[in-house]
Amino acid sequence: MSSSTTYQPRKMSRRQLITDASRGLCGVGLLATGLAGYAKQSQSLAAQCLRPPGALSEEDFLAACVRCGLCVEACPYDTLKLGKLFEPVTTGTPYFDANVIPCEMCEDIPCQEACPTGAISPELESINDAKMGLAVLLDRETCLNTQGLRCDICVRVCPLMDEAITLEVQRNVRTGHHAMFIPTVHSDACTGCGKCEHACPLPEAAIKVLPLDIAKGELGKHYRWGWVEKDNAGGSLIDEVLDLPDRLPEGD
């Protein structure tokens, strides 16, 4: 075979190259813009969707979770589901709705064990330290306890009873001689398992578990609690109020 007949790859002209490249860039750019908008929207977690125990913060979680569903299959209580297209939780990522099936707080945390990527962080050592969300007594107008009745179900089903939810006694001003036992959630202990929401006997739960960034307020960085600072300093940081001698009206 002479060299003149051997195949020479067709050379692409500069014009062709630029046309092809700009066409590709434009088409894919358009697709990318739409997808980026969708992705941005999907980065905020809907209120009823909670992540498995130990899940990274929502932003990191979406970077880490490969949507394999191993946690879903590991969960012995069918708590976890995977988000589907057009559902309020990012497609394919695991979540649970406490109202449907709450987290049963397995001590060995099988969902965490199953996660291959670390989206459910291996750093969570005890299920009692999980922060899946925070229970909030959302509706004080329908909660039976806040109306002076004794329901207490949310308190009694709480796996960390008297730590995560306590009953605070208040005077019942309606009757004048009874007490009200107000369920009170303590964010440092609440794991967000959702058993309280699930067990609430109202047709629509008065206590609900919300993702932390929805449930929690944030204190201004400049703010200090005076009584805490006083304890830390071992005494008041400002001079005591000047105490003048009390003068009493002179008797006769």
- Residues forming contacts to other proteins in the complex (CB under 8 A) are 1, 5-7, 20, 23-25, 27-28, 31-32, 35-36, 38-40, 42-43, 59-60, 62-64, 66-70, 72-74, 81-82, 84-87, 90-92, 114-119, 122
Count the Cβ atoms, other than its own, within 10 Å of residue 103: 28
What's the min distance (Å) between Cβ of 114 and other proteins?
7
* Angle, CA of 85, 209 and 39, to the nearest 5°: 30
Between 18 and 179, CB nearer to other proteins: 18
Considering the complex, state which of residue 58 and residue 197 has its C-beta at the smaller distance from other proteins.
58
CA distance 123 to 53: 11
Q: Of 118 and 159, which has the nearer Cβ to other proteins?
A: 118
* 47, amino acid identity: A
62 contacts: CB under 8 Å, gap ≥ 6: 42, 43, 90, 93
- Closest distance to other proteins from the beta carbon of 102 (Å): 20
Q: Please list, in sequence order, all residues whose beta carbon lies within 8 angstroms of the beta carbon of residue 231, skipping any fewer than 6 positions away.
A: none
Query: How near is the Cβ of 106 to other proteins at its closest, in Å?
Result: 17
Q: What is the C-alpha to C-alpha distance for residues 186 and 165, in angstroms, rounded to an integer? A: 6
Tell me the closest approach of the beta carbon of residue 147 to other proteins, in angstroms.
40
Choice between 85 and 248, CB closer to other proteins: 85
